[in-house]
Structure 1
Amino acid sequence: MHTLATVSLQALRAQTPEAQALQAMTAALRAGHPLAVAYSGGKDSSVLANLALAAACQVLAEGGRAVLAVTHADVGAVENPEIRALVRGELACMRRFAAAKGLDLRVRIARPALSESFAVRVIGGRALPAFPDSRRDCTSSWKREPSERELRRLARDLVREGWREPVLMTGVRRDESTVRAGSIARRGETAGCLWQDQEGRLRLSPLLDWTVDDVWSYLGLCRQGAIEAYSSFDEVLRVYQDAGGSSCVVVADAEMERHAKPCASRFGCWACTAVREDRSLRQMIDSDPARYGYLRPLAALRDFIAHSQYDWNRRQFIGRTIRNGFITIAADTYAPSMLAELLRYALSAQKATGIEIVSAAQLIAIDVRWSLYALAEPFAALRIWREVEQGASWTPPSLAPVPKTEVPRYGLIHVGGDWDDEIQSDLVVTGLRDTGWEMFSESCGPKLRTLRNGRTVMDIEGMGDIDEEAAWTFLDFEADRMLDDRPSFEDDWTAGYRTYLRYGLIEPGKGASRHIDSILRRSQWRQRHGLHGQQELAALRGRLTVRFERQGDLFEDAADVANPARGMAHA
């Protein structure tokens, strides 16, 4: 028997944003469309997930069928550890709730490719971090693209099972910002019915017209038991309170909104350098040092990367592309010394905190890339790893932000039309070749094939990312032998790459042989001409074929950055 209070509450809720959202969701489910919730762990996606579970329960109670999917973009070790723990816990709660209700719940986790991970991308030397005044493609590489791949797989699986096309739902709200409202209008989003995005996918935006007060009120009713929920949401509220610096979660949320990351996340990644200061991470540490003090090494590493953005002495100056027979000498990605420094700090922080920043597979991938591009001697990354494992530890220096200056561009060095121009003998083998391994082509060695450009390479394409278990096997049983056999590799730094090929840890991807062959030839050319690894700027200056204008001023500026006392005297 319903009490008057219960009936009044139900009547009130029938007119609320909650009822309107449930109506839209149940309509899609009754039409045979599975619902796919994009879940981040924040307040909006938590509300969305609970509404979707409630809608599925309602359809099942009516005797219908329902499938619910929850997708999450796991960006990896750079995610705030507290957020990763929150997401894992809440997903476990969803699974238990669905099992108790007899719901068909599919949880799908999207992860970036190994080459796109922070460790391989930045410490491997592939690209710089996302800085405030540079391209911010980390959101695409770490979240959007992996999520879209996972959604395509999910859609194929569900259609094969006989379901209609799934409906993707996000917790987007119109009142989050003026920019967000404009994007919503351009996409033609609606709250009450299905709409189609540019990729042709069916979408639903149930929270579109919700206010922030609606969101917190809904979560509050869930915590009080007035609304059945998969979670108490205590951990969600705790994280907001601690990161926003207020015991009132609404005030904390509003404060965090003022300092939201460029990706629109309240929390973001601990390694995010797309903002000058990470207030949420620092506020979390300051709010409860006993609980969050373990995050300090991560914050120190982030600040070091952010503050050293314009320290040109930490950059590589040797161009990677031949244009009209020349390579450019100008500040580009991180120098080999900086990459080694970052790896030391990352592995030291990893050992101090217990948070995996660089996995075994990522460590091998870093070492592979350093060798492939002749940035460091073979197995240099493994040597740093072994030093940390044996007790060595490094802490990033506390730097004041280096003032912004123009990117130094010094001049050009003539190299010829191609990396093999000066080689006249057919007996000299370069690129994607390994003559020692090729001798065993009848047993365990590789066959050869000819590319469209006429180059002959080993026929070894196929594998994708490095397997974590295989990486650990190599570290456990082969790393010491490789490191202690250093003299045999000193003549050719790309020998490390070929060693990993021999062990089957890596293979060029399908269609990538020409690209890898070109990189190896470039690296071998650099070694023959003393332009590999860490090169001093003064030495490069003496080798310039063409000097850019204001060269003297540029070199004076670079010297002043390297030696502040000299700069003061010069002034």
Structure 2
Amino acid sequence: MAYSYLDNHTLEDLYNEMEAVYLNDNRPWIIGYSGGKDSTVCVELTFRMLMRLPKEKRHKPVYIVSSDTLIENPIILDFLNSNINMIKRSAIELELPIKAEIVTPNPKDSYWANIIGRGYPTPKSIQYRWCTERLKINPSNKFIKEKLEKEDVIVILGVRKDESSARKARIEKKEIEGYLLSPHPTLKGKDKLAYVYTPIVDFTTADVWDVLYHENDNLIDFGDGYDSPATAWGASSMELFNMYLKGSGDSGECPFIADESTARSSCGNSRFGCWICTVVKEDKSLNGFIESGHDELKPLLAFRQWILSIRDIPENRKKHKRNGAVVKRDGRIMMGPFTFEARQMILRKLLETQLEIQKFYPELDLITLDELKAINDIWDDEEDLTSTTLLKIYKEVIGKDLPWSEYKKPMFDASTLDIVKQKCDEYNVDTDLFSKLLIDSNKFKHFSNNTKLKNSVNKTLNQQWLHQDIVEKIEDECNKELNYED
């Protein structure tokens, strides 16, 4: 039987502990809030603790930070945005030093910028999950590091030993016995440190719901005819509980993440994760909501299944990595990024799905204008000689021009591009390779010093995949010599 904190302590004990940590110094608190039950109870306990304090003792700020990956489940995103707005409003009304905001990834490093822009394959395993760091860890860490430029900070994390034996072992490994705070293993400023405080580390799942529901005197009528438990900022605790019920099993939220070791066990099997997550075989979140009546999410599920179906088709993938390296495993050449043609196909399908989902969520963009601009820049820099491929796809699907359309001019006219393609076919020259050389030549043509152009051309022409036949001959000769010596 799991150890229960509330069976051995009172909430008063926890409030006193949190109050002692808060009043002990001037280090601001940063609470990672995902909208799930564990982070919600951390924010709830902090609200209650601050409300107990006299106004003059609420001496330092508490930052509540949420991470929007830009590929969140629309229902979860609506819930998160609503709660953040309520937290902001309640903090002002209650005169609490709480500030709440949502951080997002840099558009140049977003999910779609990497998939559609650079051709990264969709992640299919924890070992090849490039998305977590870019979409969750980096935006959160950027916020924390900005605070660390000025002072030490205390990061409040809603992690619990009860979640899993692996999580329990990791937490205990990082604990310093007898101390409530422990230095963060990776987050550091120039001469400042981040410390971690885990107030609910000994909570069971039952303890979490007890605080949010049973040990809750904040009752509000949400229009159902009777008073229901609510968070300190006025959100329905029952709404959160029902969101967990709609999934198949309580697999937990995708939490605020501050380092990759935490990310290894988080989000992969989560119900409160990204709608497009392809690490899991079955998206319990999406399926759970659809089964409970949210048919408007079906286009997202259909897109997810479609992109998985086209992911490993050889014609959709290059035979080398983005840096030109050829990777062999068991004598077989491994597939590289999506081809330019496949990325265009994915963009078109995504925009079509966006039109479907906007029938129910008019304000929701599955891909933002900033992301589209970032992808446009990547394509211009790498392989789109027309400079207008993305603009045309957007216009054909959405029916209107992108804001920067009028400023884009093709590098060459249509007849010249046709000649380029004919010559590439005639002399068996890879079209992407030749496009890259033309783009670099155009990019550096006005430089008085041609060093950058030379370096760029040399780098492109010395990529391994161009000389793979020579490499294989050398490997064969070496193997023959080794066999001869044996």
Fold equivalence (TM over 0.5) = yes
Residue 175 (1) aligns with residue 162 (2): yes
Q: Residues 342-357 of structure 1: matches in 2 within 5 Å? A: 342-354=346-358, 355-357=364-366
Deviation at 1:243, TM superposition (A): 2.5
C-alpha change, 1:353 and 1:500, in structure 2 (3 Å) is farther
Give the AA of the match of 1:313: E
Normalising by structure 1, we get a TM-score of 0.63
CA distance in 2 between partners of 1:145 and 1:213 (Å) = 32
TM-superposed CA distance for 1:95, in Å, is 1.2
Structure 2 partner of 1:201? 194
SS at match of 1:339: helix
Alignment partner for residue 380 of structure 1, among 374, 380, 389?
A: 389
Equivalent position to 1:107, from 100, 117, 122: 100
Q: What is the alpha-carbon distance in structure 2 between the residues aligned to residue 331 and residue 115 of structure 1?
A: 24
Structure 2 match to 1:362: 371
The one of 182, 188, 191 equivalent to 2:175 is: 188
Aligned to 1:119: 112
Match of 2:48 in 1: 54
* Match in the other structure for 1:229: 232
> Match of 1:294?
296
Pairwise CA distance, 1:131: 0.8
Q: Which residue of 2 aligns with 1:560?
A: none
Q: Residues of 2 paired with 1:131 and 1:516: CA distance?
A: 37
1:271 counterpart = 2:276: yes
Q: Deviations over 1:381-402 (max 9, x none)?
A: 22111110239xxxxxxxxxxx
- Name the counterpart of 1:454: none
* More contact order relative to length (CA 8 Å, sep ≥ 6): 2
User: Whole-Å Cα distance in 2 between the matches of residues 303 and 210 of structure 1?
Assistant: 37
Q: Are the equivalent residues in 2 in contact too, given 1:39–1:70 (CA < 8 A)?
A: yes
The answer as to 2:329 corresponding to 1:332 is no
Q: Secondary structure at the match of 1:53?
A: helix
RMSD in angstroms over aligned alpha carbons? Answer: 4.0
Deviations 1:48-67 (A, max 9, x none): 00111122222235745242
Write the letter of the residue equivalent to 2:312.
Y
Q: Which residue of 1 aligns with 2:259?
A: none
1:88 is aligned to: 81
Instruction: State the 1:15 CA deviation.
Output: 6.8
Q: For residue 204 of structure 1, what is the amino acid of its counterpart? A: Y
Pick closer, same or farther for the CA change 1:373–1:17 going to 2, 3 Å: farther
Counterpart of 1:402 in structure 2 is none
Measure, in 2, the Cα distance between the counterparts of 1:149 and 1:500. 35
Q: Point out the more displaced range, 192-201 or 294-303.
A: 192-201
Using the alignment, how far apart are the partners of 1:499 and 1:473 within structure 2?
A: 27
Alignment of 1:421-460 (within 5 A): none
Contact 1:123 1:343 in 2 (8 A): yes
Distance 1:127 1:308 in 2: 13
**Change beyond 3 A, Cα 1:256–1:54:** closer
Contact 1:70–1:105 (Cα < 8 Å) also in 2: yes
Q: Supply the distance in 1 between the matched residues of 2:126 and 2:183 (Cα, whole angstroms).
A: 33
Q: Deviations along 1:76-120, whole A, 9 cap, x unmatched? A: 1x1111111111111111112111111122223322122221111
Q: Deviations over 1:13-71 (max 9, x none)?
A: 89745333322221122123322111000001111001111222222357452421101
Change (3 A) 1:130 1:375: farther
CA contact 1:168–1:204 (8 Å) conserved in 2: yes
After TM superposition, the structure 1 = structure 2 runs for residues 119-158 of structure 1, keeping only pairs within 5 Å, are 119-132=112-125, 134-156=127-149
**Contact 1:26/1:55 (<8 A) preserved:** yes
Matches within 5 A, 1:516-527: none
Quote the residue 2:424 is aligned against. Answer: none
User: CA 1:145–1:517 in 2, change beyond 3 Å: closer, same or farther?
Assistant: farther
Equivalent-residue separation in structure 1 for 2:89 and 2:304 (angstroms): 36
Relative to 1, partners in 2 of residues 1:81 and 1:322: Cα closer, same or farther, differing over 3 Å? closer
**1:453-483: CA deviations, max 9, x gaps?**
xxxxxxxxxxxxxxxxxx95313x345x759
The answer on 1:305 being equivalent to 2:273 is no
The amino acid across from 2:287 in the alignment is R
1:315 and 2:317 are equivalent in the alignment: yes
The answer to whether the 8 A contact 1:111-1:142 is kept is: yes
The code of the aligned residue for 1:253 comes to D
The percent of aligned pairs where both chains have the same amino acid is 22
1:358, 1:227 → 2: CA distance? 34
Pairs within 5 Å for 1:529-548: 544-545=469-470
Decide whether aligned partners of structure 1 residues 320 and 208 sit closer, same or farther in structure 2, where only a CA change above 3 A counts.
closer
Match of 1:341 in 2: 345
Measured in 2, the distance between the counterparts of 1:133 and 1:111 equals 22
Write the distance in 2 (CA, Å) between the matches of 1:347 and 1:93: 32
Q: 1:321 to 1:122 in 2, by over 3 A?
A: closer
Partners of 1:330 and 1:375 in 2: CA distance: 25
2:334 & 2:125 partners in 1: Cα distance? 21
Q: Secondary structure of the residue that 1:266 maps to in structure 2?
A: coil
Greater C-alpha Rg: 1
The answer to whether the aligner puts 1:253 opposite 2:256 as a matched pair is no
Report the counterpart of residue 34 of structure 2 in structure 1: 40
Structure 1: 5+ residue runs without aligned partners?
A: 1-11, 160-164, 245-251, 392-470, 503-512, 532-539, 552-571
- CA distance 1:323–1:273, shift in 2 (3 Å): closer
What one-letter code is carried by the residue in structure 2 that aligns with 1:473? P
Q: Distance in 1 between matches of 2:107 and 2:395?
A: 22
Partner in structure 2 of residue 248 of structure 1: none
Q: Write the distance in 2 (CA, Å) between the matches of 1:239 and 1:75.
A: 20
Q: 1:254 to 1:198 in 2, by over 3 A?
A: closer
AA aligned to 1:316 is: K
- The aligned amino acid for 2:78 is A
Conserved 8 A contact 2:391-2:402: no
1:123 to partner: Cα distance: 0.9
Contact 2:440 2:456 in 1 (8 A): no
SS at match of 1:198: strand
Greater Cα offset, 118-127 or 84-93:
118-127
Residues 174 and 182 in structure 2, CA contact (< 8 A), matched pair in contact too: no
Query: Please, which of 474, 481, 487 is the counterpart of residue 404 of structure 2?
Result: 474
Correspondences of 1:487-502 after superposition (within 5 Å): 487=415, 491=420, 493=435
Most deviating of 108-117 and 381-390: 108-117
The count of residues paired between Structure 1 and Structure 2 equals 412
The structure-2 alpha-carbon separation of the partners of 1:177 and 1:156, relative to structure 1 and needing over 3 Å to count, comes to same
5+ residue gaps, structure 2, are 187-192, 220-228, 255-264, 327-331, 359-363, 421-433, 445-449, 477-486
Q: Distance in 2 between matches of 1:110 and 1:516?
A: 38
Give the 3-state SS of the residue equivalent to 1:313 in structure 2: helix
Counterpart of 2:224 in structure 1 is: none
- 8 Å Cα contact 1:378/1:495 also seen in 2: no
Who is 2:61 aligned against? 67
CA–CA distance in 2 between the matches of 1:211 and 1:16? 13
